[in-house]
A and B are shown apart, each in its own frame.
Chain A
């Protein structure tokens, strides 16, 4: 069954929300990605046809966003933020831990198909770095110990209670923390 047949109703619903057809591009790409874990070439072609775009227009949109995948991904997609604010507090070290624990570098997937690793730019949690996103969940203020627990939770439960919202409050102020400059 083709992509457009399989998701006929959902596609019609999405298309009905936009006065201009091409505005539905990103929502449709999300549907395609949900189906296979990545956007297949045939899905790109179908979406182009549906929206009267050229296949390159669809492809170039995908390549702009790190949220869209162009090849099969592991069950858990680790996306480590490498922008300055996270780099100042150890995002390179975090990548090193992941590499030594899971044996993958950015762009690679473990042989059991469980974990894929990407580096991405700022995920808007600069105050709580180093951080990563696993599929759609945020994990912040990462330490080696926290990473171990997250990885083992993901293996056993498919998620981890260590995930946080994108917003965390600072720890309450202790009297010893007050310094005058």
Chain B
């Protein structure tokens, strides 16, 4: 009998191609050893930040990977370390965002992507992505209500793990993680909506 540990790949062997995108000086594809950190990827390979602003957030593994914060800049980019930090290495698409980027805006952009790409085969994903995107559009347009934040979390909880393919787990990552680390930005937008009295009842069924 073969020891199961020997069949497992070593934790961070070989190289991996990372596609570095977002606010860095030299975005592009970099083949580097597994286990590189985002700090090294950004400052040693991708030339640093484009306007020398600090990093506000990054995504370590493509659109489906939860956002991480500057506190995670020294996490090694291998499967286990990124998972332990609460995200995933995924596709190796590393997106870096500078200070000043709205996290609600960023999560909404990704949600539009997931809404478009949902194939529609199963209802939690098909209906859920539509509901999530509409709620995000509303919050971003400063017409959101405080209850919307709970609605978002509730929807996410009821999509992930309940779909035919892994797309359901993926589509909730941006909203869940930005709500976890930057909830105040959502709250601020809702407060602005309330202060400006912009919230209107929107009858269902009207486009």
A-to-B contact residues, CB < 8 Å: 64, 82-85, 87-89, 121-122, 126-129, 167-171, 173, 177-181
Contacts and interface: CB of A to CB of B under 8 A. Distances in A.
B43 A181 contact: yes
B113 interface: yes
B113 A181 contact: no
A170 B29 contact: yes
Given A89-B23, A170-B30, A181-B48, A84 B43 contact: no
Contacts of B43: 179-181
Contacts, number: 84
Which residue among B22, B44, B93 has the maximum number of chain A CB atoms within 10 Å of its CB? B22
A178 B72 CA distance: 21
A136 B186 CA distance: 39
Contacts of A88: 21-23, 95, 97, 101, 106
A126 B93 contact: yes
Contact of B119 (A64, A82, A122, A129): A64
B44 A178 contact: yes
B149 interface: no
B47 interface: yes
B109 interface: yes
B187 interface: no
Nearest to B43: A181
Interface in B65-95: 73, 93, 95
A181 B29 contact: no
